Amino acid sequence: MRKFISELEDGYSENTFDRKDELKRLDKLCRKSAEIITQYDESYEKVREQVKYFDEDPFRVLNRININNHTENKNGLTYLSWAWAWQILMELYPDSYTEINRPETGLPYWTDGKTCWVDVSVTVVWDDGYSAELKKRTRSEVFPIMDYKNNSIPVEKVTSFNVNTALQRAWTKCIARHGLGFYVYAGEDLPKDEAEARMAEKAEAADTAKMAVEYTAIRTKLSQLGVDLHGESFVNFVKQAANVSTIDPGVLLMDAEGMRRVIAVMNDIAQKKAK
């Protein structure tokens, strides 16, 4: 930055013969200034993102993140990308770290003589903006060393690759215990707020489909009772009684309450006709 300012303060040459080179120099300086501004903007954005989480517990922050585009399904189980999970954790809480709890053998895994497992932890470190020291929270996980079918591997067949895979999965699950992707391990499909919204949408869609069937059924019944469904008197009566502007099903599907009133009026007409 200091070198750039020094170059900028050199001034503009008044010599006509130097102007072409001077313009090139100034153009280069302008490009460099744009790069510096961009770098500072990026740094500021990272700091701003970090600062806005000071007042929030890390679990709440991480648990709101939708991870669905970073998972894969294997043998009926959903796995979160460990690399992506660690990246997110580092972006938000860069002082966080992992640990391996080792047995006396010094190996990165434990065994009962038959099968093996790893014992790990992830500690999230954050600045809440108030405490004198950084705050820490540790979550641990004991995870079995398994094959691609999720069956425990006999101790004599365990390889370094199997151990590494178990470690990565265990750390990812620890991160989930801190909030990131926790809803997947809880058997849910989406974060709480989004899941509730999706459920409401599905319920509404199911209700609309049900009413569409009811609407078709009552119109068929009225037709069988000899009612002219397209007659002006019938249409106007239903519209007025149901307080709607149209009985066109395509339009009514966008107005659930209006559809219910129309169906109720038509059912009443059918009952009176059937007597």
Is 90 exposed, middle or buried (CB count within 10 Å of its CB: 0-12, 13-18, 19+)?
Answer: exposed
Instruction: Find the mean pLDDT for residues 223-236.
Output: 88
Interval 232-251 mean pLDDT: 87
Return the SS3 of 248: coil
Question: Among 46-55, 100-109, 175-184, which is the least confidently predicted range?
Answer: 46-55
Q: Is the pTM of this model over 0.85?
A: no
CB 222 within 8 A of CB 274: no
Mean pLDDT, rounded, for 30-43: 68
CA 179 vs CA 88, 234, 247: distances in Å: 12, 59, 49
- Whether the per-residue pLDDT at 25 is higher than 90: the answer is no
- In this prediction, residue 56 has a pLDDT band, given cuts at 50, 70 and 90, of confident
| Amino acid found at 101 | N
Residues in the chain: 275
